[in-house]
Amino acid sequence: MAQEKQIAWDLYHSYENFKEKSLINRRFKHADIVPLIERLKNKNIFKVDKAGKSIEGRDIYLVSFGTGKTKVFLWSQMHGDEPTATAALFDMFNFFADDHSFADFKKYLLSHVTIYIIPMLNPDGAELFQRRNIVEIDLNRDVLRQQTHEMKILKTVFDSIQPVFGFNLHDQGRDYSAGNSFNPASISFLAPSPDYEKSLTEPRENAMKLIGNLFNILDDFIPGHIAKYSDDFESRAVGDNFTKWGTSVVLLESGGWRGDREKQFLRKINYITILSALNSIASQAYSTTELSVYEIIPQNEKYMMDIILRNLQFKKDEIEYTIDIGINFDEININGAKDYYLESEIADIGDLSVFSGYDEFDFSGYSVEVGKTKPELFHSIEELEKLNPVHLYQSGYTNIILENNNFQGEFSYFPFNIFLSKGNEPSNSIRIEEPANLIIRKDGKVKYVIINGFLADVTNLENWSGNSIVHKK
Ligand SMILES: [Zn+2]
């Protein structure tokens, strides 16, 4: 274990030397990875094949390397909006392509394992940054029918390799927590069940032992942020069936990490996890890990919210309540799904003491009310630019109405929301499933506002870094 941990730390500290610098966020496309794959052909160690085409005709690649007897198959991004591991695989290609460092370690790995990788199994989904493929089929429910090109390709490659180990690489929602720990489930594992009885077959037990081994290593890097996905059998899912067909499958899900919506830190953790797994498989170190390690990994629970405002005073019909307000954001794709803006929703109200926020603010001693819509109409952007938002807030407004047919866009960087027609403004009370627009006062004076879920200090509005929403008809 000491030696495995040392290698993991060496990988951690040298990561920047191998990180694929052209992949900078989560919304990279097939066109961004094709030149990176083409580049691998210049290196003798890699064999690059086209495994087939997606429904829209994008090439799906199979990269293989190593000469060892244990076959390991990794596939990423069968869900198009789950790219964290794909980026980590390209970091790993750079690691193996480098001629100078970690020579002994790489030689050791490649003489013990042969590695097969399909990066980005669902390029059509990635193009739209959506989970499903272009005909709206969830590939992870298509392994039995195999109606999609993408799943046929995965199954054909799987059958031709008959891998000993398989890595099913996904991202999971930011709302997952590691048990009730108040931490996000940043990495979740699962050794999928091969049947409804959740039988402990030998392939499944080996996957559990490997996961236990990885848990022990990763606990140094992200303590308290590792969890386990539900092991309920899903008869249509890839991991469950590949386990049934005799492969030790490790499901690896990248969740959330505080202050890192683009998950670049978790990408680095993926890189360390996958290389540590290859090391453990090569040395068979996993085989001596007790199954009890897997058992103690906390379950995925859903106790995370994007924002929690704590201990606000709220008055209705002369009765005072103390409430917490939980807010979540939705990412809305724009510019051909190359970028996004955020849309807020109040997720819960009341005693939220069992939940944890990616960001939390304690408003003890402050009162809250819903942000209202100013009834007087505006007619031009120039008028909005001249508007002092603080005056707006002091009258209890977070929204304005703009009568201007030329206004474009679905969001703005004004610190107030814009309604493009009268009559569809939000409700006049704080409600769940409504956008989060709030006025926060102390001793009657407005101190903070929440505009589309983003907190603004009214004395320091220049530092507000959120986006507001433009509501059409
Ligand atoms: Zn997924």
Can you tell me the mean pLDDT for 132-153?
97
What integer pLDDT is reported at residue 473 of this predicted model?
65
- How much distance in Å is there from the Cα of 172 to the middle of ligand 1? 6
- In what helix (H) or strand (E) does residue 178 lie, and over which residues does it extend? strand 177-178
The CB density around residue 72, as the number of other CB atoms within 10 Å, is: 27
Q: Which residues fall within 8 angstroms of residue 402, CB to CB, at 6 or more apart?
A: 377, 378, 379, 384, 418, 419, 420
Structure tokens at 331: 């990412």
CA distance linking residue 190 with residue 252, whole number of Å = 7
Query: Ligand 1 center to residue 2 CA distance, Å?
Result: 33
pLDDT over 90 at 423, yes or no? no
Q: For residue 350, give both structure tokens.
A: 């009341």
**Mean pLDDT value across residues 101-125:** 98
pTM given for the model: 0.97
3-state SS, residue 250:
strand
Mean pLDDT of the residues in the chain: 96
pLDDT (mean) for 335-342: 97
C-alpha of residue 396 to centroid of ligand 1, in Å: 42
**Cα 12 to averaged position of ligand 1 atoms, centre (Å):** 25
Angle 423-424-426 from CA coordinates, rounded to 5°: 120
The DSSP bridge pattern shows strands 417-419 and 445-451 to be unpaired
Helix (H, G, I), strand (E, B) or coil at 126: helix
Residue 79 CA to ligand 1 centre (angstroms): 5
Measured in angstroms, how far is the CA atom of residue 85 from the centroid of ligand 1?
11
Ligand 1: centre distance to CA 83 (Å): 9
- What is the pLDDT averaged over residues 329-352? 98
Question: pLDDT tens digit string along 368-418?
Answer: 999 999 999 999 999 999 999 999 999 999 999 999 878 888 999 999 999
Q: Which residue has the tokens 């499958």?
A: 249
